[in-house]
Amino acid sequence: MIKVMIADDEEVIRRGLEKITTRMDLQVHVVGSYGNGLEAWNQLQALTPGDIDLLITDIKMPRMDGFMLIEAARDHMEQLPIAVLSGFSEFDYARRAMRFGVLDYLLKPIEKAQLYDLLKRVEEGKNRQTGIPEPESQPHAEGGEHYVVEQTKAILEREYMHNFELERLAETVGMNASYISRLFKYKTGQTITDYLIGIRIAKAKELLTTRPDLKNYEIAEKVGYSDPVYFNKLFKKVCGVTPKDYKCGCRTQKGSS
């Protein structure tokens, strides 16, 4: 039996979580569902580690926010698994939450698969628990990793036309540059550089198709390459044809359709 406490000021979210968990092939018992952090903390501080297996908390709540609740919970039960609820746009919250060592970061609206994965990991951790804390070398929380990768992708999609600096990206995400590089490759199968090239080439193809008036060097600049010769070579390497040939090919295909 997985004993879960939920703290979120949106009743529809709390009820939704309870409903989803009852429809899974896991034994889940909600030991408490509260509309603010203070109510949750008042109940949590009376519990022992055997009374609760997971705390799921929102960040933005009245009376006591999620960070205060997490900090208090950590002081009370150092090894308690905690998952954070929040919206995708609130990355600063996610970054702070990850520093608290949360197990997962659940995005609203809640995806059943991610919640199931979280509960399954809690169940497995509970089953193998021997009273010895997990070693420090354990991988970072999957939810947090997923969030970092998605945020990195979003930044690349938004800033592909600018000069790429890994250190600046790492600073924006709030993680170590070498860690982000390894994590991104592990999660996507691509290096950050290759992913960025993919975005730039796709944008170049779009411009070659929709903006035939643009010169080659103008397209190169618009997708982040100041050297049109390098852009030409890279485009041909990736696409098998030069930008000029691609543009002509697209025109022919459009004219014959």
Selection from 8-17, 110-119, 142-151, 242-251 with the highest mean pLDDT: 8-17
> Do residue 98 and residue 174 come from a single domain?
no
Domain count, the chain: 3
> Do residue 45 and residue 114 come from a single domain?
yes
> Do residue 203 and residue 80 come from a single domain?
no
Domain containing 248 — which CATH number? 1.10.10.60
Q: Is 59 exposed, middle or buried (0-12, 13-18, 19+ CB in 10 A)?
A: buried
Domain containing 93 — which CATH number? 3.40.50.2300
Three-state DSSP string of the chain: CEEEEEECCCHHHHHHHHHHHHCCCCCEEEEEEECCHHHHHHHHCCCCHHHCCEEEEECCCCCCCHHHHHHHHHHHCCCCCEEEEECCCCHHHHHHHHHCCCCEEEECCCCHHHHHHHHHHHHHHHHCCCCCCCCCCCCCCHHHHHHHHHHHHHHHHHHCCCCCCHHHHHHHHCCCHHHHHHHHHHHHCCCHHHHHHHHHHHHHHHHHHHCCCCCHHHHHHHCCCCCHHHHHHHHHHHHCCCHHHHHHHHHHHHHHC
Lowest mean pLDDT among 60-69, 169-178, 211-220: 169-178
- Nearest alpha-carbon partner for 229 in 238, 247, 217: 217
**Higher-confidence position of 56 and 113:** 56
> Do residue 230 and residue 116 come from a single domain?
no
- Nearest alpha-carbon partner for 30 in 57, 1, 58, 4: 4
Share of the chain above pLDDT 70, in %: 85
> Do residue 16 and residue 57 come from a single domain?
yes
Q: What are phi and psi of 118, to 5 degrees?
A: -60, -50
| pLDDT computed for residue 255 by the predictor | 39
Q: Which residues contact 45 (CB under 8 A, 6 or more apart)?
A: 72, 76
The answer to whether residue 197 scores a pLDDT higher than 50 is yes
The amino acid present at 206, given as its one-letter code, is E
> Do residue 20 and residue 34 come from a single domain?
yes
> Do residue 120 and residue 58 come from a single domain?
yes
**Higher-confidence position of 22 and 163:** 163
> Do residue 31 and residue 156 come from a single domain?
no
Q: How confident is the model at residue 137 (pLDDT cuts 50, 70, 90)?
A: very low
User: What is the Cα–Cα distance from 192 to 182, expressed in whole angstroms?
Assistant: 9
| pLDDT computed for residue 192 by the predictor | 93
Q: Which domain holds residue 226?
A: 194-256
> Do residue 106 and residue 183 come from a single domain?
no
List the end-to-end C-alpha distance of the chain, in Å, as a whole number: 61
> Do residue 132 and residue 79 come from a single domain?
yes
**Higher-confidence position of 172 and 174:** 172
> Do residue 173 and residue 56 come from a single domain?
no
> Do residue 131 and residue 225 come from a single domain?
no
The answer to whether residue 147 scores a pLDDT higher than 80 is no
pLDDT in tens, 72-94: 998 899 889 999 887 756 666 76
